[in-house]
Amino acid sequence: MLAVSTVDLARIQFATTSLYHFLFVPLTLGLAPLVAVMQTIWYRTHDEGWLRLTRFFGTLMLINFAIGVATGLVQEFQFGMNWSVYSVYVGDVFGAPLAMEGLAAFMLEATFLGLWLFGWDRLSRRVHLATVWLFALGTWLSAFFIMVANSWMQRPVGSTVTDGRAELTDIWALMGNRLALHAYLHVVLVGLTTAAVVIFGVACWHLLRGRNVDLFRKAALLALIVGVPISALNLVVGSRLGIVMTDYQPMKIASTEALWDTQQPASFSIFQIGGFTKDDQTPSFSIEVPKLLSFLATGSLNGKVVGINELQRQYEAQYGRGNYTPPVRTTYWAMRIMAYFGSLVFMVLALGGFLYWRRKLERARWFLWLGILTIPLPYLAALSGWVLTEIGRQPWIVFGLLKTADANSPSVSTTTIASSLGIFIALYAALLVVDFVLMRRYARLDPPEVGGEGDEMPLPAVSY
Amino acid sequence: MDLEVFWFCVVAVCWAAYFVLEGFDFGVGMLLPFLPRGAHGEEDRRTMFQTIGPVWDGNEVWLVVAAGATFAAFPTWYATMFSGFYVALLLILVLLIVRVVSFEWRAKSESPRWRWVWTWANTIASVGAPLLWGVALASLLYGLPLDSDGGFAGDFADLFSLYSVFAGIAVVLLFAFHGAIFLTLRTTGELCDRATRASRRLALAAVLLTAAFLVWTVAVAMDRNDKDLFPPILPAILGIAALILAAAFLVRAQNGRAFAMTALGAIAVVATLFTSLYPRVMVSDPDFGNSLTVDNASSSHYALEVMTIAALILVPLVLLYQGWTYYVFRRRLGGEPTVTS
């Protein structure tokens, strides 16, 4: 019989619900400011094309946001439900940014989204424009507090351990965590990139069909203006995050690179077969770039990158006997999927920019198809990024302080978690299917007409 | 005042806001299949959805904040309550997710069957979630088996006592009453008439059950939580008076005042529960000594200080802009949909 422990099930449930939640977060993070930009252009130029685009992409944003809210509630409850020891241990520190997220950010999002959605005919144009910007501000603030909370688990700062639990000692150190600032920047850039890719992909579909061409050329241009530099910048920020992470969790980096022995300079493995376990440390096949890993991990071409074996010995001396090596194969591939797809996204967008500049975009049908097919890539990259971040921290739940295996709820039985996991998987799968069908349908509609007869209230196509 | 006491009050205020605000949108959800009749049925249902459309999301955030504040200020309470209420919370989460989806997806297809499914999904969730919250919150006071570390040592069945189930039913009826009166304020014509009739029909049961629950709560507090009659009796009396006044205002067709009184009634329910609990946050039964209190379940002084400052800045701001939302959407909704797809 397969032995699955309560902790394993709780971890699978957390991974499932978090990754699912993060299917919706980046698009909201990115679409909110971009829809606000569209509405701002309309406000400034009175060009109704931009109003139609605002309504069109606003609808997609709403469908997406609703599920994000529902799955976010699961996230908040889950800490206490499945991880009660963790919750008691970290609540003093971790709870503060979480509570502030609710009060400062989530409240702003939910209230101003309602105002934006139903306020088209009740508010002046200027105030109504402010509501969408405040909604966008809410989504970005929300991401900040969440990244502060997560980064504390990666690098606990501003706290001490007293009487067997962590206590907050310096809120500014917590908020100003160097890791949090990098991770936050990375997340919002991922959001913008995702939204740019989605807008661009949808625009490609409409350009292929040859309808509303003027309109979607505008949308494509906006997506490219945002997407090309942002996706490039994101690659830089992502690598930078790797360097910062090396300072605090060298094991995560060593595991990500399947680097068993310390190297100076260290070469970067592009692709390898084998070499992922303690008993099989040498790959049977690999393609490597000399010195690149030194550069990625330390910022210098000749930097020393400490290997898994040395770190394992060091941690055993520091924390006692145990396995301090995360699953090497998983982290290795998670990082590569993230980085390769992230780079691919940049290349597609850059090529799109080139074609647009040469006025060839609409005629390059193969490229328009490529634009549509690119839509899943930022999602896969973002999910892989989280897999890397969280799995790479194992066996710790709070790095250096608390192990995952010691953090779950003792009163919750294996059967209970197994059934709740089953329920969540079934419910989430059903939601995903319907959400996909809805998004697809609304992404294929003609953007709503405005200014015609009987259309005094230019609302997004959401109603009850 | 101690910061622990202050944060106990903050958690209570969040729950009170949640009961008042989501209370009426749950109530409207409960009435969805019952009020609309005849040829205008679908139109009326859409109007009902629209009355709560702009605000339900903001209302639900009070639950997020209540949970977040509990986590931050009373980690042990949060951990024991949420792991102990596992099955109940799982059901609540499923119901709330279904409800969110029903709001967003119901209008996305013209098919009557699709709409029927999501109407009922919303109604079932709108009954089920407050029922379970009533049971769960009441069982905090009635007592649950806790071990000497303050961890939960029981199972799902321990949540259900005659008292806690009665609490759940009372909360559902109170919300239905609250929601019906809300509808009379936000609709016109025949739908408004029906909402008025529904609120009058609900009045007797809602007032009686809630009053009985409030009295029972004070008795449970004295019996099982070592409390005196005073102070829990104060919010209880206030709540009973408010609900009787609500019914009286309704008879005199002063629906605005009636709504204010049901809102006060919802606040009184939370206030009675929390004053009955204090200084404990979870009563332990059978080992009363294992109970969690505001002192043994709270965060450190510094963490509470930091959050107090944040809350003092943010809460008034939130109340201000949420209040403004209600002002913006104060207009009644007629039979004609104002939102077109």
| Minimum Cα–Cα distance from B145: chain A residue | A411
A344 in contact with B, Cβ within 8 Å: no
Give the pLDDT confidence score for residue A408 in this predicted structure: 86
**d(CA A182, nearest CA chain B) in Å:** 24
The better pLDDT of the pair A186, A300 is held by: A186
- Interface with chain B: mutation pick from A167, A170, A463, highest number of B CBs within 10 Å: A463
| Summary mean pLDDT of chain B | 88
Give the pLDDT confidence score for residue A189 in this predicted structure: 96
| Minimum Cα–Cα distance from A425: chain B residue | B94
- Interface with chain B: mutation pick from A6, A28, A56, A107, highest number of B CBs within 10 Å: A107
For residue A458, pLDDT beyond 70: no
**d(CA B190, nearest CA chain A) in Å:** 19
CB contact under 8 A, B54 and A118: yes
CB contact under 8 A, B83 and A71: no
CB contact under 8 A, A412 and B78: no
Which of A332-341, A439-448, B109-118, B139-148 is the least confident region? A439-448
**d(CA B228, nearest CA chain A) in Å:** 31
A452 in contact with B, Cβ within 8 Å: no
Which of A217-231, B30-44, B86-100 is the least confident region? B30-44
Which string of b and e fits B168-197 if b means at least 16 CB within 10 Å?
Answer: bbbbbbbbbbbbbbbbbbbbeeebbebbbe
B122-159 tens-digit pLDDT: 999 999 999 999 999 999 999 898 888 888 888 888 88
Residue A276: pLDDT band with limits 50, 70, 90: confident
For the segment A92-115, the average pLDDT, to the nearest whole number, is 88
CB contact under 8 A, A92 and B300: yes
A213-267 tens-digit pLDDT: 889 999 999 999 999 999 999 999 998 898 889 889 999 988 988 888 898 888 8
**d(CA B41, nearest CA chain A) in Å:** 14
Give the pLDDT confidence score for residue A452 in this predicted structure: 45
- Interface with chain A: mutation pick from B48, B60, B83, B96, highest number of A CBs within 10 Å: B83
Contacts of B338 in chain A (CB under 8 A): 121, 457
Which of A200-204, A245-249, A279-283, A313-317 is the least confident region? A279-283
- Interface with chain A: mutation pick from B57, B106, B296, highest number of A CBs within 10 Å: B57
Residues in chain A: 464
CB contact under 8 A, A80 and B79: yes
| Summary mean pLDDT of chain A | 88
A198 in contact with B, Cβ within 8 Å: no
| Per-residue H/E/C for chain A | CCCCCHHHHHHHHHHHHHHHHHHHHHHHHHHHHHHHHHHHHHHHHCCHHHHHHHHHHHHHHHHHHHHHHHHHHHHHHHHHHHCHHHHHHHHHHHHHHHHHHHHHHHHHHHHHHHHHHHCCCCCCHHHHHHHHHHHHHHHHHHHHHHHHHHHHHHCCCCEEEECCEEEECCHHHHHCCHHHHHHHHHHHHHHHHHHHHHHHHHHHHHHHHCCCHHHHHHHHHHHHHHHHHHHHHHHHHHHHHHHHHHHHCHHHHHHHCCCCCCECCCCEEEEEECCCECCECCCCEEEEECCHHHHHHHCCCCCCECCHHHHHHHHHHHHCCCCCCCCHHHHHHHHHHHHHHHHHHHHHHHHHHHHHHCCCCCCCHHHHHHHHHCCHHHHHHHHHHHHHHHHCCCCEEECCCEEHHHCCCCCCCHHHHHHHHHHHHHHHHHHHHHHHHHHHHHHHCCCCCCCCCCCCCCCCCCCC
A117-176 tens-digit pLDDT: 888 888 888 999 999 999 999 999 999 999 999 999 999 998 889 888 888 899 999 999
Contacts of A133 in chain B (CB under 8 A): none
CB contact under 8 A, B89 and A81: yes
Give the pLDDT confidence score for residue B340 in this predicted structure: 34
Give the pLDDT confidence score for residue A38 in this predicted structure: 94
A394-432 tens-digit pLDDT: 899 999 889 998 888 888 888 888 888 999 899 888 888
B257-267 tens-digit pLDDT: 999 999 999 99
B207-243 tens-digit pLDDT: 999 999 999 999 988 888 888 888 988 999 999 999 9
For residue B341, pLDDT beyond 50: no
CB contact under 8 A, A434 and B314: no
**d(CA A65, nearest CA chain B) in Å:** 10
Q: How is chain A split into domains, by residue range?
A: 7-249+327-444, 254-326
A40 in contact with B, Cβ within 8 Å: no
Contacts of B86 in chain A (CB under 8 A): 81, 409, 411-412, 416, 420
**d(CA A56, nearest CA chain B) in Å:** 12
A124 in contact with B, Cβ within 8 Å: no
A185 in contact with B, Cβ within 8 Å: no
**d(CA A356, nearest CA chain B) in Å:** 33
| Minimum Cα–Cα distance from A89: chain B residue | B75
Residue A96: which of B107, B108, B303 has the nearest Cβ? B303
CB contact under 8 A, B107 and A462: yes
Q: How is chain B split into domains, by residue range?
A: 3-138+159-275+300-328
For residue A81, pLDDT beyond 50: yes
Contacts of B63 in chain A (CB under 8 A): 73
Residue A333: pLDDT band with limits 50, 70, 90: very high
Contacts of A94 in chain B (CB under 8 A): 71
**d(CA B105, nearest CA chain A) in Å:** 8
**d(CA B211, nearest CA chain A) in Å:** 31
- Interface with chain B: mutation pick from A84, A101, A112, A145, highest number of B CBs within 10 Å: A84
Residue B46: which of A98, A118, A464 has the nearest Cβ? A464
| Minimum Cα–Cα distance from B50: chain A residue | A464
CB contact under 8 A, A457 and B338: yes
Residue A464: which of B50, B100, B154 has the nearest Cβ? B50
A137 in contact with B, Cβ within 8 Å: no
Contacts of B318 in chain A (CB under 8 A): 103, 107, 111
Which of A20-24, A84-88, A282-286 is the least confident region? A282-286
CB contact under 8 A, A167 and B300: yes
CB contact under 8 A, A71 and B97: yes
Q: pTM to 2 decimals?
A: 0.89
CB pairs under 8 A between A and B: 237
Looking at domain B3-138+159-275+300-328, does it have CATH number 1.20.1630?
yes
Contacts of B50 in chain A (CB under 8 A): 463-464
**d(CA A460, nearest CA chain B) in Å:** 8
R_g over Cα of chain B: 20
Give the pLDDT confidence score for residue B1 in this predicted structure: 66
For residue A450, pLDDT beyond 80: no
- Interface with chain A: mutation pick from B90, B132, B330, highest number of A CBs within 10 Å: B90
CB contact under 8 A, A100 and B315: no
**d(CA A9, nearest CA chain B) in Å:** 15
Contacts of A79 in chain B (CB under 8 A): 71, 78, 82
For tokens 């090396």, the residue is: A246
